[in-house]
Amino acid sequence: MRLSHNIGSIERYLDDFCVVMIGIQEGYSLPRIAHNTKLSEKLVLEYAELYHQHNQNPECQSALSRLSERLAILLKKEEIAILGAGGVR
């Protein structure tokens, strides 16, 4: 079976996973993460299960760390975009 996902979709999946992962690490409940991110509770649960499944695996730590770094970069870009648009910090 071949899935057709463009790069933009894949990046959005990664970004959404990153946000859910950080929400879990910060201690937010899954319903709260879903509400704050406007993702469905079902999708947040799926991402949470993936995170918990791989979080304790030493082989996955490098990849999870890179995803955390990805989120930090995204947040910085968003902050820059907001400030560039005349937003108030």
Task: In whole angstroms, give the CA distance from residue 55 to residue 46.
Answer: 14
pLDDT digits (tens, 9 = 90+) for 46-61: 999 999 999 989 999 9
Mean pLDDT split into 10-residue runs, the chain, 89 residues: 76 89 92 93 97 92 90 76 48
pLDDT value of residue 89: 38
Alpha helices in 1-89 (DSSP H): 7-25, 30-37, 41-55, 61-84
Residue 70 CB neighbour total at 10 angstroms: 15
Task: In whole angstroms, give the CA distance from residue 16 to residue 23.
Answer: 11
- Prediction pTM value: 0.76
pLDDT value of residue 88: 42
Q: Which two tokens stand for residue 50?
A: 């993936």
Q: What is the largest CA-CA distance in the chain?
A: 48
